[in-house]
Structure 1
Amino acid sequence: MLDTSAIADNQLKEPNLRDLAPLFFGLHIAGGHVGLPLLVLTCLLSKKVKRHPTIINFCLTWIIYSVSYSLLLYGRNYKDSHPPQVLCFVQSAVIYATPSMAAVAAFAVVLQVYGTFYAIWDSESITKLPHAAKMLLMLAPPYITLATISAGAGIIVWQHPDAVNAKNGIYCAIHVEAFERYTVPLFCGLVLVFVSVLEAAVLVKIYRRRRYMKRVCPDAEVRRPSLGPWLRLAVFVAYSWVAIGACISFLTAPEFINPFPYMAQAALPLAAMIVFGTQEDVARVWLPWLWKSRDDMQVLESRPPSISPRTSRTSGAHNLSNASDCDICRVPSGENEEGEAETQIAAVA
């Protein structure tokens, strides 16, 4: 059983964020109530936008995350230190599980991208599984995490009902230090470390592959990946470490906890929205008129100039000669894997 001697002291350390409530809830509404639901509907309904199920699942977990932190806002109870007891108990049990759920969903996305470059899905035991079973293995862990941690938090709420309140001014929390300060931050921080390790492994694999191609065939044209997915990857990696910093602040703050971890966590759904919503295919669906003129110009520029028969024959002979010289420098199948992964890289995010 958890020691309750630290409950009173921990409540004194709890910052009063009532003045920052508009910012806190504004971030959740922008990312988890507007942006991500719109993005999920776009992926599900539009034929022009296709995403791997792990990516859609990742977005869904952040929507649930925002909803869990906004329960007091729905009933306009966030200004009360003691909101309705049942609502407060439910929220205090769920909010500790949703960050862990989203972290596990992020790990599933990164693992999917990692599997594009490393043959982790080729084992006989996995290849024999039905497609539905494979999807279940990838999509179920976040919700298993949600149920497990919520149940554990619910037990603590039942054991220490007096330790649950909304004195921070934005949501109900369980003021039992051993659970509040260590359990969830440690779990999320550990998962994010694994996420970052897999991201680094993917980048190293791509770098080595391109360097090998340049060394073996220095004159070969190795397709350069578009910068967009890699910029989004960099954004997500950077914000992953910001989130880790927020977790560390919970662990190391000796006396007072500043508002930074709360605002950093509130901005996570919006960060996910920015990572996914800035992809070109999504922008084409949301803002089609901005792309129409650009597409028309590209069609005009792509029309080939007229070529005389003599020039055509000469050019054809030259191309055949080059083709015979470059047969040994054909791009390996890994280049195709890199292209397939680019549509998922933004989610490593």
Structure 2
Amino acid sequence: MAVWLFFQLAADHVLLPILVATFVLSRSVVRHSTLINLCCTWILSGVISSLLLYTGEATGPEPSKGLCTAQAALMSGVFPMTSVATLTLAYRTWRSCTPGKSQLREKASRPMRVTLLGSPYITLGVFCAIAAKLGVEYPDQVDRTTRFFYCAINLKTFAIAINAFSAAVCIIAVGFFVHLAMQQLRTRETRPPRQHSAKADTAFRIRVGLLTLYMLTAALANLGALGDPGTAFPDIFTASVGMAIFLLFASQSDVLHAWRTLRPFSAPLPRRARPGSPPAPHTPHPSFDLDLLTKRTDSDVSEQARLEALHTYYAERVRGEGVKVEIIPRPQDAFIPGSELRRASGGSGDGGSFRKEKGAV
């Protein structure tokens, strides 16, 4: 129970929604809508599988008959739905094998997109309708005991039809990849791919092929378990497909790069510095007590404190701009003939040009 819940909650409720959000929102990650749709079907699968968990009836006495029948009907269409979604992704990947086309960016016609994206949910609706009719006609065959984790309709003929349909769909999907692999080998012999985009497409097709094989294995496991309804392995293995999807497609370099470059939306953009200039200070501008400027006194100590405060204030304001700051008591002490700066302490020039080397306040 714990392993099954882990796959349902971690993959279908958390990880796959994050992956879908990355595909949809990130400008640097481009994926075909059939892959996004496949992830969405497994998110929906996780929601349907967890209905008893939401209502607190996953364990203990049998759930209410209405809820159990509703979940059993929905669960009957889940695996056919995800199998068809896998087939549409496999078909789209196979279709992109035509030279000059890219799986990542090629666009299909509107009717084709509607067919590819809508067929999994049509399949779900068809199987759900059949299962709901059977559940109403045979209420004593609907329970949670047989499948351990969720309610199901215990009609062997209907179970065989569900799993046989799913397995056949996955076999067709694998057939696309067998043909694709043969075509890729012929293309590699005549013209080895050297472009980065071609290598990226090949790597993507390999991931989709591995997922298709994983789905076929799950379908065959469910079909083979019909003779032994007491085992929970097929359900656990099927639940792990969502995690496999995340691991296969979240480990791609552009997805990882998009996650590494994420910043909080409230973080300010860094200020661009001029080439060759020192880095801008990261500390806020200093404050200055106006009383030191407006209240003059005859005390040498107070006057010295005022000058030091002014020097510190302006030095902090112009830090990083390459300007030196020197505080002088009187404006007339700034210049002598020859445009040299006289120091306030002794009145002697420092031998440098004021405009080129010093700034006075």
Who is 1:285 aligned against?
A: 258
Whether the aligned pair in 2 keeps the contact of 1:185 and 1:250 (CA below 8 Å) is no
Aligned to 2:338: none
Q: What CA distance in whole angstroms lies between the structure 2 residues aligned with 1:288 and 1:257?
A: 48
Tell me if 1:183 matches 2:161. yes
Given that 2:73 and 2:135 are in contact with CA atoms closer than 8 Å, whether structure 1 keeps it comes out as yes
1:267 Cα deviation from its structure 2 partner? 0.5
Using the TM superposition, give the Cα deviation of residue 137 of structure 1 relative to its aligned residue in structure 2, in angstroms: 1.6
Determine if contact 2:84/2:120 at 8 Å carries over to the other structure. Answer: yes
- 2:110 maps to which of 106, 109, 132: 132
2:32 is the alignment partner of 1:52: yes
Question: Structure 1 residue 131: deviation in Å?
Answer: 3.7
- 1:70 offset after TM fit, Å? 0.9
1:265 aligned partner: 238
Deviations 1:115-171 (A, max 9, x none): 11259x9xxxxxxxx943232121111111011110000000110111111114311
Instruction: Determine the structure 2 residue equivalent to 1:195.
Output: 173
Deviations 1:36-67 (CA, angstroms, capped at 9, x unpaired): 11111111111111111111111111111111
Q: Which residue of 2 aligns with 1:39?
A: 19
Aligned residues: CA RMSD = 2.5
Q: 2:59 aligns with which of 79, 83, 88?
A: 79
When normalised by structure 1's length, the TM-score is 0.67
1:103 and 2:119 are equivalent in the alignment: no
Return the alpha-carbon distance in structure 2 between the equivalents of residues 257 and 245 of structure 1: 17
Question: Using the alignment, how far apart are the partners of 2:29 and 2:235 within structure 1?
Answer: 33
Q: Deviations over 1:275-295 (max 9, x none)?
A: 111111111122238xxxxxx
Residues in 1 aligned to 2:206 and 2:93: alpha-carbon distance in whole angstroms: 16
Asked if 1:232 corresponds to 2:211, the answer is no
Q: Which residue of 2 aligns with 1:243?
A: 218
Q: Tell me, which stretches of 5 or more residues in structure 1 are unaligned?
A: 1-20, 122-129, 215-219, 290-349
Residue 199 of structure 2 aligns to a residue in which SS?
Answer: coil
Contact 1:107 1:194 in 2 (8 A): yes
Letter in 1 for 2:249: F
Tell me by how many angstroms 1:250 deviates.
2.7
Q: List 4+ stretches of structure 1 deviating above 3 A.
A: 220-224, 226-231
SS at match of 1:95: helix
Deviations 1:156-203 (CA, angstroms, capped at 9, x unpaired): 0110111111114311111122112x0111010000100110011111
2:45 to 36, 53, 65: 65
Whether the 8 Å CA contact 2:222–2:234 is kept in 1: the answer is yes
Q: Which moved more, 1:255-264 or 1:134-143?
A: 255-264
Assess if the C-alpha contact under 8 Å between 2:222 and 2:235 holds in 1: no
Give distance in 2, aligned partners of 1:67 and 1:195: 25
Residues 222 and 63 of structure 1, relative CA distance in 2, 3 Å threshold: closer
- 2:127 counterpart (140, 149, 170): 149
1:10-51 CA-partner distances (Å, limit 9, x unpaired): xxxxxxxxxxx1111111111111111111111111111111
Identity in percent = 27
Matching residue of 2:92 = 112
The answer on 1:91 being equivalent to 2:66 is no
1:345 corresponding residue in structure 2: none
8 A contact 2:143–2:153 mirrored in 1: yes
Rounded Cα–Cα distance in structure 2 between residues aligned with 1:116 and 1:228: 13
Higher alpha-carbon Rg: 2
Number of equivalenced pairs: 253
Question: Structure 2 unaligned runs (5+)?
Answer: 102-107, 263-361
* Whole-angstrom distance in 1 between the partners of 2:88 and 2:140: 37
Displacement after TM superposition at 1:85 (Å): 2.1
* Contact 2:218-2:238 at 8 Å conserved across structures: yes
2:48 counterpart letter in structure 1: S
Q: How far apart are the structure 1 equivalents of 2:61 and 2:238?
A: 22
| Structure number with higher relative contact order (C-alpha < 8 Å, ≥ 6 residues apart) | 1
